[in-house]
Structure formats: C-alpha cells, structure tokens
Structure 1
Amino acid sequence: MSSALLVGSVIAGVIGAVSIGPALLHGELGVGVLVAGAAVAYVTGASGWAAGRLVRSSAGKGSLRTRFNLTGLLFVLLALCLSATAAVRDADWFVVSALLLAVAAGSYGASGGRSWPEVLGGGIAVFPAVGLMVPWAGRGAYRSMSSGRGTAWPAIRTGLIAAGLIGVFGGLFIGADAAFGTIASGLVPEVSPGSVIVYGMAGCGVLLLASAGAFLAQAPPPLRILVPDPAKPAGRWSWAVPIAALDLLFLMFCAIQAGVFLADDKDKLLRSTGLTYAEYARQGFFQLVAVTVLVLGVVAAAKRYAPSAERTDRVMVRVLLGLLCALTLVVVAVALRRLYLYEETFGWTRLRLWVHAFELWLGVVVVLVAVAGVVKGRTPWLPRAVAATGAVAMLILALIDPDGFIAEHNVARYQDTGKIDVPYLRDLSADAVPALDRLPEPERSCALRSIALDLDDNEPAMSGNLARSRAREILDARPADMNVNCPGWLRSY
C-alpha cells in the first residue's frame, strides 16, 4: 500500500468517525453516510487510477492496462448515489437495503470484470478483501514509517497541527459569537466514554472499507477462472422441441389471461373457480414471479447448449427464444396487473411495493436478455447491464419515496372508500408525514403521533435528513394530538 493511499484511508476513517459516529450514537442516519461514502469512493477511485500502469498478464508479457475503467467509475458513482439515500429518506428498511447494494456496487466497481462470475463475485469481494488487505496495508505502513521517504508521517503531523490550530481559534470564535457557536455546536461531536467507542467503531469500519476498496482496485480477485468453458452444442431437436413446447404452454396461458381480462363480467367468468376477481388477482402472483425467474435460467441454458454453426440453427434460436421472452413479458404484465388490482382493493404495504418493484425489474432484465441473447447474439455487456439496472432501480425507488408512496395511496383509498389501516400507517417513517398530514382527525393524530415521538429535535448535524426535516416542519405547524383516543380500526391487508 502506497503512502498516499495509506494517508487517504486514515483520513477516510477520521471522516467516518466524525460523520457516521454521531449518527449511530443517536440512532438516525443522515448526510454523514454520504460524506463517509464520498471519502471511501475517493480512495477507491484514486487507487484504481493509480493502477493503470504496466502489468503482467498470466503469460508473463507486459501490457498497458487501466484496471479502473469507465465501467468501474460508473459503479462507484452508483454506489455513491445509493449512499445518498440516507440523507433524503428515513425508512430504515429501505435505507439499509440501499446501503448494502451500495457496498456491492462499489465492490464490483473496484474489482471489475465482465462475466457473470466476475460480476456476482465482485459484488461480495469486499468482504474477504477486508482480511486480505491487512498484510498489504501493514507492509505499506511499515515502509512509510521506517524508510523516512514516505509521506505518511508528514501528512499525519500536518493534520495534527491543523487540528490544533482549528481547536484553538475555533474555541475563541465560539466564545466571541453566539450564532457561530450555535452552528459549531452541531458540528462538534459529543465526547463521552460511550461516544468515543462508537466513533472509534465507525472510523475503523470506514477505514477498513476504504482500504479494502483500494486493495480490490489494485488486486482484483481472479474470478475469471470460474468462467466455464464453452459447452458442447446439443442436437438441434433435443433443445428446440422442449423450448417450442414451453412456448405453446405460455401461449395457452396468455390466451386464457386475455379472455379473463377482456370479459365484461369477470366475477361471472370466474364463478366456476369459487374465487372473486380480487381473490383471483392475488392468487398465483408469486408463482408468476417464479416463472419469470425460471425463464431466465431456461434462456441461459438454451443459449449455452443450442447449436450455432449453421444459419438455420441461429435463426431457430432467435425465433424460439425471442417468442419465449416476448410471452414472458406478458406473464410479467399479468403478474403486475394482478398485484395492482389487489393493492387497489386492499391498500399498499411495504412488501407489496417491494415485490411490485422487483417484478418490474425482472421485466427489464427479460428485455435485456432478449436484446443481448436473441437479437444481438452476443452478451459480453449483459451481466454489467443487469447489475447496473438493479442499482438504478433502487435509485428510482428512492425518488418515488416508498413510505410516502404507500401513505399517499392509502390516504387516497380512505378518501374513496372510508377504509384505512391506521395501525399499519403509524409504523411508517417520517417519509410518510406529508401524506398522513392530509388525514382528518382523529385518524391524522393517531397515525402521526408515533412518528412525532421518534423525531429528535436535537439530532447532530451529520444526522441531517431531508425527510425528517420536512416532517418536523409539518408537525411544528400542526402538532399531533397526543391525547386523542384512537379506536381499533379493522386491518384490511
């Protein structure tokens, strides 16, 4: 590990301690996660660009190679954008999922690779890299400290001098101006035995993450050895007949769904099944999701074993698999239509929104597979495209505001039907406050008072969050009645 990267990782750890530490101490993530994420991304990017030098291939010949290419930069930027969700959204279930995906995206961005094993393995490579990079970083630190030529100690010494000067003059400015002191008090972390432990854990975590990212950018895992050798093509009819039979089954299913969808009296049509249309909409949704996932496996296997030497074989592959992908999109549409009808009847929940988004993403993956494997015939970009669309889908969901979306639709449903599940809505996060604020009393106060009690008016600056700030403004203007009597509304989900 070079001295510059060592200093960068230490600085990232200090930034993580003062930005994430206070947030963890108060139990509220915020803009500090984005600040620490930017520090980690900078160290990882610097290491990747520094690795664009003469490297030796497995055959022992030298070649100029930039390990950290445009794809790596894109995924590191996606990881940084995903970390920003902690600054704008309050829903823990969503923010934690986005941060885990950010770690995976950044890990792959540092590792690189094109094949499926490299994309999937690169996404989790950061975890073994935390252990593997310890001797690498240790040797770099030893050389920097002992050789006298390194830049680590001068940088540390400079940082200590700067911190001392800021402490002395900052203290004088705080005593001289009350407004400056108020702002500075939000930036200065709380110091106590317990807080020091929390800050240290946060700093060490960010230090390890930055060092692991730097390590992966210079020593990506050799996952290419996991790429299987080209398969021996099967006979033309041994693969074409099963795929054609599957196409016919899908055609039959789509025809039945079209009949149900176009029927004037849907309940009369389904009376023989003993189900209402709402029950029919709910039934089988997860089976249809499983169908979508399995089709992707079938297409992958068919592309691997289908013959391609003759033009007739290539045309047959494209026709049969293209038809299967097109019919799969119909299945995706049917599944989404069923879930939407059920959501409109019984309301939205986090699980329903999550699986709705997942099925939509699967539809995008099917389109990518059809374009890459059926139309183009080549798939070198497909694994990276699928991974990128997953990260982009999470960002789109962040823009939609999951808890706010759920509250918005349930409030609209209440205005239309008079039905509402207040016990469920009051467990939502501060993201839902703008929508819940439109409820009449006593439903409004019953839905908002749990959220109001969880909002901390004295949160540190690094826990700053757009959703919580907006919720405080609304509740300050119209406080929730903490003494209102909340009846037990019937749960309807």
Structure 2
Amino acid sequence: MSLRVLDPVRSVKVKLGLLVAASVVVAVAVATIGEAGGVPLWLSIPVTVALALAVTQLLAVGMTSPLREMTSAARRMASGDHDVRVTATSRDEVGALAAAFNRMAEELAAVDRQRRELVANVSHELRTPLTALNALLENLADGVAEPDPVTLRAALDQGERMAGLVGDLLDLSRVDAGKAPLAREQVEVRRLLDAAVAESRVAARDVTYDVRVDPPDLSVEGDPARLRQLVANLLDNASRHSPPGGTVSVRARASGDRWLLEVADQGPGVAPEHRERAFERFGTLSEVDGGGGTGLGLAIARWVTDLHGGTIRFVDPEPWGSGARVRADLPTVPPTSPTPRDETPMPHPAPPPVAVPPQRPPTAAAPSLTEATFGDFWPERGLPGNLRVLLGALGVGLLAGIVLPYRDLGLGVFVVLVAAGGVVLAASRNRHDPFTLTCAALCLALASVVVVRDAEWIAVLCLLAGGGLCAVGLVRGRTVPSFVVSVIAWPLAGLRGLPWLGRTFRIVTGLGHSAALARTAVLSLVGLAVFALLFASADALFAEWVGALVPDRGWDGVALRLFVTFFVGGVVLAGGYLALNPPEVGAGPRVQRPVAHRFEWLAPVLVVDAVFVLFLVAQAAVIFGGHDYLERTTGLTYAEYVHQGFGQLTVATALTLLVVWAATRKAPRETPADRAWIRGSLGLLCVATLVVVASALYRMSVYQDAYGFTRLRLLVDVFEGWLGLLVVATMAGGVALRAAWLPRFGLVSGVALLLGIAALNPDAWIARQNLDRYEASGEVDWAYLAGLSDDALPVLTDLPDDLEECAIHLADRPDDDWLEWNLGRARAADFAAEHEETWQHRTDCPGQR
C-alpha cells in the first residue's frame, strides 16, 4: 500500500525534501503528544520512530515504484516481451523517464510486430504461386511447351530468385517461432564445402572458387542441412560481389576445440561502420549488396552460427588482398542448448495475421523495497496475507492499552503476555517442532514470574529473557550467531513484513481498496473528534451527553493508552510475521576450515594452558602459605585480594569457552593423533577452567561474608556457575568431538537457572543471608534490607519484634485491583493491614553499617 500524493510535484529534489519534512513533522508531533501525555521515553521513542518510518515508507514507495517497475520491465523486454509497460503517473524526472520508457517499448513492440507480420505474410502469400510459376517455367525451359528460349530462361531465373526469397523468409519465420532444432551428426567439412561450391557454380557466375581445408580430413559435429545453408549463403554473397573473373576463397581450419570457416571475395568490401548492419534482417546495404540480394542471406548465416553456438563477423581482408572477408567461429561439438540471439520460443510457426482486438499492455510488477533489501538474507516465498494474525495483534494491543497503563506488574501483565504468545505460537510454521514447543513452555514459565514475584529486577530479567527465547524458538536457531540474528530479526520484521501487511489489508477490504478504507477511517475519526469537541465547548448539554458517552480519563491517560496499544500491537504483529516467515539462519552444515599444520592451533592453546597452570600454582601458594604469606607478599588483606580478582576470573572463564570454540574450528581431525591432541590440550584447559570457576565462587563467598549479600552479587554468582556448567558440557562434547547440541543446551540451561533464581525468591534469600551474617558478626545494612521488595517480607517478619521495624518500611500502599494481583504484594498488603496503625520506623537499629 502506497500513497501517490507527491505525483504532482515536478522535481525529485523537492519530493525528497517533502519526504524528510513529513517524517520530521510526524516524529515531532508524536513525540510532543507523548511528552504531553506523560509517556515514558522508552515507550515514546520506538513508537515515534515506527510512525515516522511508516510515513516514509508510504511516500517513498510511490516515488520509487516506477524505477523498480522499469527494472522488471527491462528484464522482460530483454527476454523478448515488448508488450510490458510501466506506470507513469508522477510528473517529475522519474515520471518523464517512465513515459519515455513506455514510448520506447511501444516503438520496439511495433517494429517487432511489423517484422513478424512481414515475414509471415510474404511467406504465406507468395509460396504457392511461386511454386506454380517455377513448374510452368521448367516445362517451357525443358521443351514440353513451345518456348522462346531467351525469354523463358529469364523468367525462370526471376522465379528461382523469388523462390529463394520465400525460402529465406520461411527460414526466418521458423527462427522467430523457435522451431529450429539441430539434427546432429558428423559432417566432413571438405565434402560439405565441395557440395556447396558445386551448387554455387550452377548459378553460372563468372567466378573461380578456391577451397582449402586444414587438416584435409577435418570432421565436426553439427546439422548438415543448416551448415550447408550457412556455406551456401556465404558463397552466394561472395560470388555476387566479386568482379567477373574474380576468385572466391573458402578456407576451413581446426583451432583447438573449434573450427574456423572463412569466405573472402575480391569485391569492394564492407566499411567497418557497416559490417554489423550487414547481418541484420533486410539490412541490405549498397556498399555490401551491390544492387542485388534480398538482405536475408547473412541474417540466416548468423542464425545458423548462433544455433551451433558460434559467432560470425566481417574481418579485415588479408594484407595482400582486398574485398570482403567473413569468418564463422564454430565449436567442433555444439552445445546441448544453444540460445540464438533471435530465438523467441513459440509453439508453432507464425500463421497468417489474424485481426485481434487491441488489449491493454500488461504492467510490470515492481519488486518491493523490502524484497530488494532483505531478499537474499530473508526471502519471502509467496507468503499470503493472514487476517487472523493482524486481528490477533490488534486485539492484544487493545488489551494491553486497557490493562497495562497505571498498573504494577501482576496478573494483568501475565494475561497480556499469554495472549501475545498465543497469537505468535498459533502463527508459527514451526509450532510442532519440539524445540519451539520447549521454548514456548519456558516462555510461559518466565511470564508467570510477574504473578509470583514483586521484585522488578528479576521480573524484568525474566521478561527480557522470554522475549529473546521466543525469537530463537520461532526461528529454530541452533548456533550462537543464529541466536543473535533471531533476536535482531524481531524488530526488523516490522520492516520486512510491510508487503505482507499490505496483502493482509487487501484481505480486509476484499477488493484491494485498503488505502481508501484507511483514508475513510482516519477522516471519519478526525471529523468526529473535531466537531464533537467544537459542539461540546459551545453547548453545555451537548458536553454532558459527550461526557456520559466518553469516560473522563484525562488526556494523559488517552495518550499513554494509545502509545501502549500501538507499541504492543506492533511488537506482536512483527512477532507474527517472524513466526510465519522466519529467516533461514544456521540451516546449512557448519563449514570447517582447519589449518594446514597442527602447531598453528596447538601452540596458542598450550600457551594458554601454561598460563592457567601457573595461575593454579599461585592459588596453591595462597592456600598453603596462608593469609600472612599473602599480606607479606602483596600487601593486601585477604578480603581485598578476593575482591580484586573476581571480575577478571569471570572474564577468563568466558574467554576460555571462546578459545575452545576457535580451536575446535581450526584443528584438523583426520588422524587419531589429531583427535588425541584436541582432547588432551582442550581437556586440560577445561579442567583448569573449572578450578578457576571454583576459585571465583570461593572469592565471592568470602567477599559476601565480609561485605554482605546483594542482588548483583547473587547474579554474578549464578552467572559464574552457569559458565562452569557450560565448561562441563563442553568437556562432555569433547569426548565425541561433536557438540552441535551445546548452544541450545547453554540457552535452555541459562533460562532454567534464571527460573531457578525466581523460584528461589532471591530477595528473600538475600535477606536471609544478611540476617545470618548479622547473627554471626553483628553487622547488617538495615537500609538495604528495607529497600528490598515485598518478596523478602516472609523472612523479615521472622525477626524479633524490636528489629522488624528496622528492616521493614510500611509505606502508603495504593489499593491494587485484581489485574495487579501479585503473590509478594498480596502478602505484604495483609501484613500492612495488620500493623499499619502501630508501626513505626526505628532509626537507632543495632549493628547498622
């Protein structure tokens, strides 16, 4: 769907300026509405960008469609279809080019049509009477009837000349009709040339023929009749242009897997600028023809050479000679499927012209902008419109606009997520794939976290992980790069799916008038809003009626709900397209490019192994030397020592997996020794990495004992443990040197660990660990505990009564409706209802750090 409102503009530069201005105006207007409505930036920016891009797409498609139509039309015209036309409605330079293109196509079509009609008409009209004339003249010439020898012989010569014309025309008609198969057999070149020369001598022209073949027994494969036709036409052309008593030279010689045929005369020759025209149909030139000939002989000669997969052209005469010299370059074995330049396949030779009512020329279908951009990476193989996905996305968007604004994470968010997932999964062409179904189940579990946990940090992490996992499941990614491409493909689907969205809109209208329907809806809504507001401001009673029909939610609420509806509906619609037409990622086998020598990969790995072993020796020295040895050697306390190195050890663990991946791609595996070195060197590296993981986890444990437990430290612990799990899985894959399952295992295990954190109730676990540390050391950060979410309340209420008020803040709580219901907040609400009248926040809490 595109708009052609810029067609009256006469300049492409002005159109581009208006396009930029329209996009900027839309972006500014939407951003202003969002700011006035209190829409947050994270929601306002993508909606603004999407609407600006939509306006650009609608206007730009109409500007560039003639260019794309011309590209498609040019390809069709190159294949012989001269009836195609392009749409030329704009008045700028592109429109002028499209109009000129159409005129050119019309002229080419007219020329081609006239040529075909001429060949068919002359062939059909002259063949029968010329045959009868030849028969009569033969009788007279043979004495069957009383002849006047001179007159009758002249009549016979003219009749034979006209019969030759008809034969030439019929040959060209067969060329146009594509009815020219090759009857292949071995042809002796010397016999072929001698037969053609013998026929040429019958014409009684006063020339001598000099025939030479090198080698004398040269034999080629081809159609004898067509090759004889080629030689006869060249000899006829040369003999007609040679002076009386002249010599026509005929040369044939082998040249590798090809053979060359040259025919030269002693006539006036052909100027270089006229040589190509001499091979055109009816291309008789005074310089070439000398006043005789039909202008078809050389055209037929070119057709025969093309049919055999060769070429023909005029070349310069020999240095010591003059005249015209034609050279045909032919393969000794013609190709199986030659493509003559004049061939246009048709079922039968052209019949006599029949009156056909004029028809409107077909218009070339222009490929879409998105097809040209994403076609190679993300093809769209005839994907039809899908009304259910569009309505489903619209329904989810409306549901989100009603449910999500001004509500905390809870049951309403879960309902919207389930509805969105249902629409996307129902549209997926991989919905029966086990991996896709596994991802769907994990996404459902991740979405349920918003109903169980009040801690926004874990809920948001689960939602982000669920979105990425959903994209991977829809695309069925198998490798880490395919996971990344899958996640990127979701927002890109908003652009790639625009042609599909247009086809879906045409399903809505039934007749393809989607633009008219959209304009009607927009104008109706604008008219309703403008005149309703005018009359409401002018008449109090009318205002009361409008107020009764339209609830007073305030402008802020309307703007935010519209933004949420558009954003969520667009995300679901893009996910629906991704489900219907996922890009092909990671479908082919992984290409291994091993190095030529073992040391090229083994030496770097052994160096890394040596560094890891040296690190393990240093760790052993710390363990056996004790804290005194560490402080005496480095000047650091043990707490400072473990805090300093934890991040680096985590990065080292991640880099180890990268080293293993790179080494397995470059290491050859042909011999048992190759495989043994892979298992030994990389196995040692993995074992050392597991020790590093244990060291990192131990350091974090010591650090937490010294400084307390936090959410970030918990996440880092889990992340390091997940890396250790991947190292163990890598070792398991190294046994068989096959680990195609490893990327998916890492993805699913990471999601499972995230769900495990959510099931653990992380805020409650952190509170418990800090309280245990308080009992052991007498130190605790009461402010941090009070800042934890309501999920920690069950643990904090186990404190003695005099300490509960140190760790629990009962702030004013709004009344949640059922769409905001959440297990953690529900427990906190019950506790607050029991204690809010007597609760006081202590400031003199013991052990405060």
Matched, 1:91 2:472: no
Contact 2:396 2:568 in 1 (8 A): yes
Q: For 1:366-445, what aligned pairs fall within 5 Å after superposition?
A: 366-372=727-733, 374-440=734-800, 443-445=803-805
- How far the C-alpha of 1:115 sits from its partner, in A, is 2.6
Q: For 1:464-479, what aligned pairs fall within 5 Å after superposition?
A: 464-479=821-836
Higher RCO (CA 8 Å, separation ≥ 6 residues): 1
Structure 2 letter corresponding to 1:248:
A
The CA deviation string for residues 201-251 of structure 1, in whole angstroms up to 9 with x for no partner, is 333333222212211112112444999743242411222233223223322
**Larger displacement relative to structure 2 (247-256 or 482-491):** 482-491
Structure 2 letter corresponding to 1:128:
L
The residue that corresponds to 1:364 in the other structure is 725
Q: Could you tell me which of 207, 212, 216 is aligned with 2:578?
A: 216
The CA deviation string for residues 458-490 of structure 1, in whole angstroms up to 9 with x for no partner, is 112111111111122223334486544414877
Task: Name the SS of the counterpart of 2:779 in structure 1.
Answer: coil
Structure 2 letter corresponding to 1:92:
E
Structure 2 letter corresponding to 1:251:
V
Contact 2:431 2:437 in 1 (8 A): no
Contact 1:350 1:402 in 2 (8 A): yes
Contact 2:790 2:824 in 1 (8 A): yes
Q: For 1:95-174, what aligned pairs fall within 5 Å after superposition?
A: 95-147=459-511
Structure 1 letter corresponding to 2:455:
A
Contact 1:293 1:362 in 2 (8 A): yes
- When residues 201 and 376 of structure 1 are mapped into structure 2, their CA distance, relative to the original with a 3 A threshold, is farther
Matched, 1:276 2:637: yes
CA RMSD of aligned residues (A): 2.7
- How far the C-alpha of 1:77 sits from its partner, in A, is 2.1
- When residues 234 and 345 of structure 1 are mapped into structure 2, their CA distance, relative to the original with a 3 A threshold, is farther
Contact 2:627 2:638 in 1 (8 A): yes
Return the alpha-carbon distance in structure 2 between the equivalents of residues 222 and 276 of structure 1.
Answer: 54
**Larger displacement relative to structure 2 (29-38 or 275-284):** 275-284
Contact 2:427 2:580 in 1 (8 A): yes
Structure 2 letter corresponding to 1:471:
A
- How far the C-alpha of 1:68 sits from its partner, in A, is 5.5
- How far the C-alpha of 1:193 sits from its partner, in A, is 4.0
The CA deviation string for residues 48-95 of structure 1, in whole angstroms up to 9 with x for no partner, is 1xx3xxxxxxxxxxxxxx575211121122222112111111122221
Matched, 1:82 2:453: no
**Larger displacement relative to structure 2 (110-119 or 322-331):** 110-119
Contact 2:806 2:845 in 1 (8 A): no
Task: Name the SS of the counterpart of 1:303 in structure 2.
Answer: helix
Return the alpha-carbon distance in structure 2 between the equivalents of residues 487 and 385 of structure 1.
Answer: 50
The residue that corresponds to 1:40 in the other structure is 420
Contact 2:797 2:804 in 1 (8 A): yes
Q: For 1:66-81, what aligned pairs fall within 5 Å after superposition?
A: 66=430, 69-81=433-445
- How far the C-alpha of 1:399 sits from its partner, in A, is 0.8
- How far the C-alpha of 1:106 sits from its partner, in A, is 0.8
Q: Could you tell me which of 25, 45, 54 is aligned with 2:406?
A: 25
- When residues 316 and 274 of structure 1 are mapped into structure 2, their CA distance, relative to the original with a 3 A threshold, is same
Return the alpha-carbon distance in structure 2 between the equivalents of residues 355 and 254 of structure 1.
Answer: 22
The residue that corresponds to 1:247 in the other structure is 609
- When residues 234 and 346 of structure 1 are mapped into structure 2, their CA distance, relative to the original with a 3 A threshold, is farther
The residue that corresponds to 1:316 in the other structure is 677
TM, length-normalised to structure 2: 0.47
Return the alpha-carbon distance in structure 2 between the equivalents of residues 316 and 260 of structure 1.
Answer: 32
- When residues 475 and 376 of structure 1 are mapped into structure 2, their CA distance, relative to the original with a 3 A threshold, is farther
Matched, 1:342 2:703: yes
- Identify the structure with the greater helix proportion: 1
- When residues 484 and 118 of structure 1 are mapped into structure 2, their CA distance, relative to the original with a 3 A threshold, is closer
The residue that corresponds to 2:394 in the other structure is 10
- How far the C-alpha of 1:10 sits from its partner, in A, is 2.5
- How far the C-alpha of 1:4 sits from its partner, in A, is 2.3
Contact 1:421 1:489 in 2 (8 A): no
Structure 2 letter corresponding to 1:355:
V
Return the alpha-carbon distance in structure 1 between the equivalents of residues 499 and 805 of structure 2.
Answer: 57
Matched, 1:453 2:811: yes
- How far the C-alpha of 1:380 sits from its partner, in A, is 2.0
**Larger displacement relative to structure 2 (343-352 or 240-249):** 240-249
Structure 2 letter corresponding to 1:15:
L
Return the alpha-carbon distance in structure 2 between the equivalents of residues 438 and 271 of structure 1.
Answer: 40
Return the alpha-carbon distance in structure 2 between the equivalents of residues 312 and 386 of structure 1.
Answer: 29
Contact 2:778 2:847 in 1 (8 A): no
Return the alpha-carbon distance in structure 1 between the equivalents of residues 475 and 713 of structure 2.
Answer: 34
Return the alpha-carbon distance in structure 2 between the equivalents of residues 30 and 307 of structure 1.
Answer: 54
Return the alpha-carbon distance in structure 2 between the equivalents of residues 98 and 322 of structure 1.
Answer: 34
Return the alpha-carbon distance in structure 1 between the equivalents of residues 799 and 818 of structure 2.
Answer: 31
Return the alpha-carbon distance in structure 1 between the equivalents of residues 771 and 831 of structure 2.
Answer: 17
Aligned pair count?
Answer: 427
- How far the C-alpha of 1:347 sits from its partner, in A, is 1.0
- How far the C-alpha of 1:256 sits from its partner, in A, is 3.4
Matched, 1:288 2:649: yes
Q: Which runs of 5+ in 1 are unaligned?
A: 52-65, 154-188
Contact 1:76 1:110 in 2 (8 A): no
**Larger displacement relative to structure 2 (252-261 or 397-406):** 252-261
Structure 1 letter corresponding to 2:386:
S
- When residues 36 and 275 of structure 1 are mapped into structure 2, their CA distance, relative to the original with a 3 A threshold, is same
Task: Name the SS of the counterpart of 2:595 in structure 1.
Answer: coil
Return the alpha-carbon distance in structure 2 between the equivalents of residues 131 and 462 of structure 1.
Answer: 33
Structure 1 letter corresponding to 2:569:
L
- When residues 271 and 429 of structure 1 are mapped into structure 2, their CA distance, relative to the original with a 3 A threshold, is same
**Larger displacement relative to structure 2 (302-311 or 469-478):** 469-478
Return the alpha-carbon distance in structure 2 between the equivalents of residues 270 and 141 of structure 1.
Answer: 72
Contact 1:448 1:480 in 2 (8 A): no
The CA deviation string for residues 157-183 of structure 1, in whole angstroms up to 9 with x for no partner, is xxxxxxxxxxxxxxxxxxxxxxxxxxx
Task: Name the SS of the counterpart of 2:670 in structure 1.
Answer: coil
Return the alpha-carbon distance in structure 1 between the equivalents of residues 618 and 555 of structure 2.
Answer: 67
Task: Name the SS of the counterpart of 1:25 in structure 2.
Answer: coil
Identity of aligned residues (%): 34
- When residues 376 and 225 of structure 1 are mapped into structure 2, their CA distance, relative to the original with a 3 A threshold, is closer
